[in-house]
């Protein structure tokens, strides 16, 4: 689908470029420089200075729609939101099982949480405490 999405993006870009050029050329016409009648619906600061023809407006909207569809179709597959689903997929992959070093090309995604170099090592302290209790009994 990437080839089709690329073609849609290119087509949308061509249409958008043409619409921008057409709007620029229309703004240079002497008839476009005449003041437009004020709108009763819009406030004066939102009222356009140049009235664009309907075909340029429709071409601009069509090209933006094409670009939006092309970008959505060309985007990569979404990853799971839940951490455990992502980690389970990663741990089941061959690359993650073959990698032994953490942080290089895979490995256990929970290793950073399990090691926690900046946190207190409860297991290590529990072992030290058990050894201290055993030595104190002798």
Task: Give the pLDDT band of residue 9 (cuts 50, 70, 90).
Answer: very high
Residue 6 pLDDT > 60: yes
Count CA atoms closer than 13 A to 101's CA, side-chain side.
3
Indicate whether 88 and 69 sit together in one domain.
no
**Whole-structure pTM value:** 0.53
Question: Residue range 70-76: average pLDDT?
Answer: 92
Rounded-to-integer distance, Cα 57 and Cα 62, Å: 9
Per-residue confidence at 111, pLDDT binned at 50, 70, 90? Answer: low
Structure-block tokens of residue 27:
């703004």
If asked whether residues 110 and 54 sit together in one domain, one would say no
Final residue in a domain of this structure, among 74, 97, 128: 74
Residue 99 has pLDDT above 60, yes or no: no
How many domains, in total, are found in the chain? 2
pLDDT band at 106 (very low <50, low <70, confident <90, very high): low
Over the Cα atoms of the chain, what is R_g? 32
3-state secondary structure of 109: coil
CB atoms within 10 A of CB 63: 20
| pLDDT value at 104 more than 60 | no
Q: Residue 98 has what pLDDT?
A: 59
pLDDT in tens, 41-69: 777 777 766 678 889 999 999 999 999 99
Q: Which of 57, 74, 91 is the last residue of a domain?
A: 74
Residues 25 and 45 occupy one common structural domain: yes
| Boundary-marking domain end, from 74, 92, 113 | 74
Q: How many CB atoms lie within 10 A of CB 23?
A: 17
Residue ranges making up the domain that contains 30: 2-74
């Amino acid at each position: 689908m990437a080839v089709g999405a690329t073609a849609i993006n290119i087509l949308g870009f061509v249409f958008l470029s043409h619409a921008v050029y057409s709007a620029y050329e229309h703004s240079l016409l002497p008839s476009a420089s005449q003041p437009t009648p004020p709108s009763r619906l819009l406030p004066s600061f939102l009222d356009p200075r140049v009235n664009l023809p309907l075909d340029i407006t429709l071409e601009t909207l069509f090209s933006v729609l094409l670009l939006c569809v092309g970008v959505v179709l060309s985007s990569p597959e979404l990853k799971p939101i839940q951490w455990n689903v992502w980690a389970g997929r990663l741990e089941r992959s061959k690359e993650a099982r073959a990698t032994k070093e953490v942080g290089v090309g895979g490995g256990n995604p929970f290793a950073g949480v399990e090691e926690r170099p900046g946190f207190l090592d409860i297991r290590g302290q529990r072992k030290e405490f058990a050894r201290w209790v055993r030595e104190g009994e002798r």
